[in-house]
Structure 1
Amino acid sequence: MKYVFFCVGILILTLGISLTIHSDLGTSPFDALLVGLSVQVGLSVGSWEIIIALLLLCCNSLIRRRRPEVLGLLTALVTGIGIDTWLFLFHSWTVPELWLHKLVYMVIGLILIGIGTATYLLTHFAPIPLDRLTLIVQELMRTNLFVARTIIYLIFLGLALILKGPIGMGTILTVCLGGFILNIFMPLTKRILERFIHQSSSWSDS
Structure 2
Amino acid sequence: MGLSLRRFTFYFLGIFILTFGIALSIRSNLGTAPFDALLVGMYRSFGLTIGSWEIILGLFLVLCNAVAGRRRPEFLALLTSLITGAGIDLWMYLLTEWLQPETIFSRIICLVIGIVFGGLGIAVNLQADFAPNPLDRSMQIITRLTGLNFAISRALISIVLVFFAFIFGGPIGVGTILSAFFSGVMINLFVPLVAKLDRKHTQEGVSS
* Fold in common (TM above 0.5): yes
Q: For each residue in 1:145-182, what CA deviation from the matched residue of structure 2 results, as whole angstroms up to 9, or x when unmatched?
A: 00000000000000000011001110110111111111
| TM-score, length basis structure 1 | 0.96
The one-letter code matched in structure 2 to 1:66 is: R
Instruction: Report 1:7-86 matches (<5 A).
Output: 7-86=12-91
Q: Any stretches of 5+ residues in structure 2 without a counterpart?
A: 1-5
Structure 1: gaps (5+ residues) = none
Question: Do structure 1's residue 167 and structure 2's residue 172 form an aligned pair?
Answer: yes
Aligned residue in 2 for 1:120: 125
Matched, 1:154 2:154: no
Shift of 1:91: 1.8
How far does residue 196 in structure 1 lie from its aligned partner after superposition? 2.0
1:2 aligns with 2:7: yes
Query: Does the 8 Å contact 1:24/1:95 carry over to 2?
Result: no
**Which residue type is aligned with residue 144 of structure 1?**
N
The offset of 1:202, in angstroms, is 3.2
Superposed, which structure 2 residues align to 1:174-189 within 5 Å? Answer: 174-189=179-194
SS at match of 2:32: coil
Q: CA RMSD in A?
A: 1.0
Q: Report how many residues are paired.
A: 203
Q: Structure 1, residues 69-117: CA drift from partner, whole Å, max 9, x if none?
A: 0110011111111111101111212431111111111111111111110
Is it true that 1:88 corresponds to 2:90 in the alignment?
A: no
Q: Distance in 2 between matches of 1:6 and 1:60?
A: 20
Task: Give distance in 2, aligned partners of 1:65 and 1:83.
Answer: 30
Question: 1:185 and 1:159 mapped to 2: Cα distance?
Answer: 28
Aligned to 1:140: 145
Q: Secondary structure at the match of 1:68?
A: coil
CA–CA separation in structure 2 for the residues paired with 1:178 and 1:136: 17
